[in-house]
A = this chain, B = another copy of it.
Amino acid sequence: MAVTNRDMANAIRALSMDAVEAAKSGHVGLPLGMADASTVLFRKFLKFDASNPDWPDRDRFVLSAGHGSMLIYSLLHLTGYKSVSRDDIRNFRQLGSNTPGHPENFVTKGVETTTGPLGQGIATAVGMAMAERHLNARFGDDLVDHKTYVIAGDGCLMEGISQEAITLAGHMKLNRLIVLWDDNSVTIDGNIDVADSTDQCARFEAAGWVTRKVDGHDEKDIEAGLKWAQKQKQPVFLAVKTIIGYGAPKLAGTGKAHGGPYGADEVAGIRENIGWPHEPFEIPAPIEKAWKKVGERGKDTRKAWKERLMASPHKGEFNAAIAGRLPKNLSKAIIKHKKAVVEGGEKKATRQWSGAALEVLTHHVPEMVGGSADLTGSNNTKTAVTGPMTPQDWSGRYVHYGVREHGMAAAMNGMSLHGGIIPYSGTFLAFADYSRAAIRLGALMGARVIHVMTHDSIGLGEDGPTHQPVEQVASLRVMPNMLVFRPADGVETAECWEIAINRETGPSTMALTRQGLTPARKEHTEENLCEKGAYVLSPSGVKSREAAVLIATGSEVEIALAAQAELAKEKIHVRVVSMPCMELFAQQDEKYQRETLGGDLPKVAVEAGVRIGWDRWIGPKGGFVGMDSFGASAPYDDLYKHFGITAEHVANTVKGLI
């Protein structure tokens, strides 16, 4: 018997429905509907080698509609990825299996990015496609020449982030990005017309894409569409018309087909309708064999690629870029920069110091690709060596992301996951709220991205409370696997950048001031003092009569130092601890923590943000000088006085405690 596309697609259908029934939860509607199209994609177009999931020049496949995870697990399993065994399929959604409810790249090899929160996949894929073009410009067609395929659902397309992603992709003319829209006209609340009437093809065309409609259950039509897609000069949107829950006697084509186990009757009906008489989790050998061959399709291509790499003069550089290895001389360059900063003794905003640190870093690290959400001049993210990345010149290392904070954060995740790029980009800290869902996904995935967030407090001044982040530092500190840095001057900014750029296991946020700050660090040290998260910046001087401890971050360190000087005049001796990264300090042993914070001495924290997060360090009797409301519009020095974030208030708070 000749194994057909439909037979192979039915294997996906069978595994998906059997897994969802066994788990008693999950979403089988999408795998049933998109099985035919994804089978064509994997059989005839996708460049991959199942035995080498990390091959850098593979095509990327992103299931943006992540709830249909059984589609991807079926594909990985059938094509022979070691990461997904038949037992993993049986243990879909169980603790410790490689088949979690939504695809997680940090659990399952072959999954390119974690999806589930809708719209993230397509936006992440835009970053991957940009990374491909940039690395192609750097290393040439021989080493980098692949495509990015996305399956997206109606939910992905309704999310605002998808608009940011597709307009960015259209503007960048990312013609190697091919989106297959699972056009099934159904969402959870019912038919799509309950909530949406968008002409998606017209919308994508307005964003600079080319579009084509395809019958998602007609192998020939799908193949013709995908063939056509290979030759376009713009990103490609294929509207793949499908029936959700394809084959299910009662549920197919309805809102109820989206998720949940269908139950024994429906599953039996599907078996009947698609002609699949086999037992649950059983795949006939010919079909199994045909799928395995698909998984081996790319082997020779990969071998040829490997040979080209071995012969390439770029070999070392390419491998270092993909591995994300930093140059050995970087640490020295940072030390040299720190020394110059201390010697200069200038009063500058930390966003300016960040710009200065970036000049050093981007000069030494060619993998760094910067950008800003239309605030380049304010975020100080552009450096001398980072020219604009454009469709005409992909070698550029600076992305004008436009006013698209959310799409930008997701694109950075995609660049990082793709490999070969260490992305950073800027916006105002208040607008971290716009990109939070993507920032979080980066933290979950452990993506190495750096969010430059300037104008980090009421110090922003006249723009007022909409732009003043009083709670955003705290809101990022609560996020697992995120490091939030709030440096106090030029030296700390350089040190925090050094930690961030060396961090391979997750994202970092740099919270930076708009306003100029007096240098806190006046002596040069080779050692990175910020590495432990907090340190004694200015001892009390009179240890035996030390009365209290001031802890501050960022722009409030100079206020704490001024308060220390005020108090000293009254013979009240306090130390000042700078705490540029609370998360790193929390990782230190208790001894270092107690020593740094002066044991049981009374403590006052100073930060122009909300108190939550500080109680752990200052204790229930500790003092806090900061914000307990939104800010206001006025020159920043007026605001600091108005909200009582002053040396005088800090000094008085100390006096009230001792």
Q: Say yes or no: B189 contacts A634, CB within 8 Å.
A: no
Cα A401 to Cα B168 with chains together (Å)? 25
Copies in the complex: 2
Q: If the complex has contacts A117-B431, A402-B187, A430-B117, are A466 and B197 also in contact, measured as CB distance less than 8 A?
A: no
Q: Which of B372, B402, B440, B465 contacts A104 (CB 8 A)?
A: B465
- Taken residue by residue from 579 to 603, chain A's Cβ proximity to chain B (1 for < 8 Å, 0 otherwise) reads as 0000000000000000000000000
Cα A374 to Cα B400 with chains together (Å)? 33
Residues 163-204 (chain A) with a chain B CB within 8 angstroms: 163-164, 167-168, 170-171, 187-190, 194-200, 202-203
Q: Say yes or no: A478 contacts B478, CB within 8 Å.
A: yes
Q: Is A407 in contact with chain B by the CB < 8 A criterion?
A: yes
- In the bound complex, residues from chain B placing their C-beta under 8 Å from that of A620 are 616, 619-620
Q: Is A206 in contact with chain B by the CB < 8 A criterion?
A: yes
Q: If the complex has contacts A171-B197, A195-B374, are A100 and B478 also in contact, measured as CB distance less than 8 A?
A: no
Cα A196 to Cα B173 with chains together (Å)? 11
Residues 117-165 (chain A) with a chain B CB within 8 angstroms: 117-118, 154-155, 158-164
- In the bound complex, residues from chain B placing their C-beta under 8 Å from that of A116 are 463-464, 466-467
Q: Is A470 in contact with chain B by the CB < 8 A criterion?
A: yes
Q: If the complex has contacts A206-B202, A475-B475, are A463 and B102 also in contact, measured as CB distance less than 8 A?
A: yes
Q: Which of B67, B167, B206, B444 contacts A158 (CB 8 A)?
A: B167
Q: Say yes or no: B639 contacts A95, CB within 8 Å.
A: yes
Q: Say yes or no: B480 contacts A93, CB within 8 Å.
A: no
Q: Say yes or no: A25 contacts B433, CB within 8 Å.
A: no
Q: Which of B96, B102, B164 contacts A467 (CB 8 A)?
A: B102
Q: Which of A358-366, A486-494, A562-570, A607-615 contacts B (4 or more CB under 8 A)?
A: A607-615
Residues 424-442 (chain A) with a chain B CB within 8 angstroms: 430-431, 433-434, 436-437, 440-441
Q: Is A83 in contact with chain B by the CB < 8 A criterion?
A: no
Q: If the complex has contacts A160-B160, A440-B433, are A464 and B615 also in contact, measured as CB distance less than 8 A?
A: no
A-B contacts, 14 of them at CB < 8 A, read A25-B462, A95-B635, A101-B462, A102-B633, A161-B434, A167-B196, A198-B206, A202-B202, A203-B206, A434-B437, A444-B466, A471-B478, A478-B610, A615-B616
Q: Chain B CB within 10 Å — which of A194, A434, A481, A629 has the most?
A: A434
Q: Which of B188, B466, B633 contacts A376 (CB 8 A)?
A: B188
